[in-house]
Each structure stands twice: as structure tokens, then as C-alpha cells.
Structure 1
Amino acid sequence: MPTRAQRPRLTQSSPGQKAADIAYKAGLTGTPLPQSPIVAVCAVDHCGAPSGRRQRKPPATGMVRVRGSADGAPSHWYCPGRCAAIANARADLRTGGHR
């Protein structure tokens, strides 16, 4: 029996086959669109600024201090919302969720 690579490929000749293929692919044809970055750069000043041991006051109003992981990573100041959530998630990933 010939291997799969050696078997001839049948073309999609009937309109029903072509319509089924388009429906299966949800109309996606051609080249894919360029992907946007998953983590975009934040435009807020001082977002991601390192927090010193003695620095208890945020560099700007409304900043959230995210503790570093237990492996010795320092804490940083982030804008509330998306950036703080991403920083918390990254710290949890570094330690396996045990900070």
C-alpha cells in the first residue's frame, strides 16, 4: 500500500466540496493578518519603576506596588488594572503561585 505522501491528492472539483471547504475554514483564505503584540507597552509614566526598600510612597498617584517573587525578584510600581494584573501573574508564574 502506498504511503500517504505517495497517494494522489484529489482536487476539490465540485461546487459542494468548495462550499464545504470554505464553511469549514470559516471563510479564512489567503495570508493571515499580522498579529499585534500580546503585551503592549504602557504609556503611563513610571509604570514598572522599581520600588526600593525604603520607598513606600508611589512615584505617581494611583500606582500599585506589586511584590516581587520569593526567589528574590524586587517589587515594582505599576498602574492599576492591566499592568498590575500582568505583573502579579508573572510573579506567580515565577514561583508556581506561592509568593
Structure 2
Amino acid sequence: MPTRAQRPRLPEVSESQRQARQAWNQGKTGTSRPAEGAPVVERCSVDGCGSTADQPQPNASMVRVQGPGSTDSARWYCPGRCAAVGRALADLRSIGHGGGAR
């Protein structure tokens, strides 16, 4: 039996085939946007989130995050998602400084 790459692809000519593809893609059509210019994580709109920890704690609920063995200064983040993103960024920054997983 021929492999999938060897089988010819039949064009979608019927309306039912087009509707089935659109249903499979949850109504999305066209080409997807390039990820090159899109930010991986949207910026937080809370004042003081991501600010360096050499400043006073902006909010009582802010969490101080610093990567293991990192020479970068610690930062204040919102608890939850922002703190998790901050920890991941701190870990990535510390890779070249002798800390973090390799």
C-alpha cells in the first residue's frame, strides 16, 4: 500500500467537503498569522508587575521572583500566572550563569 506522501490529494470540490473542513477548523479560514511578530506572553496591566525588587513592594499580594544563581535582580510579579511566567523567565536567564537546569 502506498504511503500517505505517495497518495494523490484530491481537491475539495464539493460544498460538503468545504463545510466539513471549516467545521474541523472551528470556523477558521484562510492562512494563520505569522508568529514572528506576536508576543509569546501578553504584558500584565497591573502597576508594578515585573518591576525590579530594588524598589518597594508595589502591592501587598506581589510575589518576589529571582532565578537560581542568577545575577539579574529579583522582580515583583502578580501571584499566579505572572509569577509563573516570571519564574520561567528567571530560569531561562540563569541558564548561562551557572544556575537552573541544563
SS at match of 1:49: coil
Matched, 1:82 2:81: yes
Please tell me the root mean square deviation across aligned C-alpha atoms, in Å.
3.8
The question of whether the paired residues in 2 share the 8 Å contact of 1:63 and 1:79 is answered with yes
SS at match of 1:77: strand
Identity across aligned pairs (percent)?
40
Matched residues, number = 87
Shift of 1:59: 2.2
Q: TM-score, normalised by structure 1?
A: 0.58
The one-letter code of the counterpart of 1:12 is: P
Listed one character per residue, the Cα deviations across residues 27-72 of structure 1 (whole Å, up to 9, x for unaligned) are 75423367764311111111111112xxx95221101000144241
Q: Cα distance 1:93–1:11, how it changes in 2: closer, same or farther (>3 A)?
A: same
| 1:10-89 matches, cutoff 5 A | 12=11, 15=14, 22=21, 26=25, 29-32=29-32, 37-52=39-54, 58-89=57-88
Change (3 A) 1:65 1:14: closer
Q: Find the aligned partners of 2:42 and 2:88 in 1 and give their Cα distance.
A: 16
Shift of 1:14: 6.5
* Unmatched runs of 5 consecutive residues or more in structure 1: 1-8
Q: Report the TM-score, using the length of structure 2 for normalisation.
A: 0.57
Q: Which residue of 1 is the match for residue 3 of structure 2?
A: none
Larger Rg: 1
Q: Provide the C-alpha distance between the structure 2 equivalents of 1:51 and 1:62, rounded to a whole number of angstroms.
A: 14
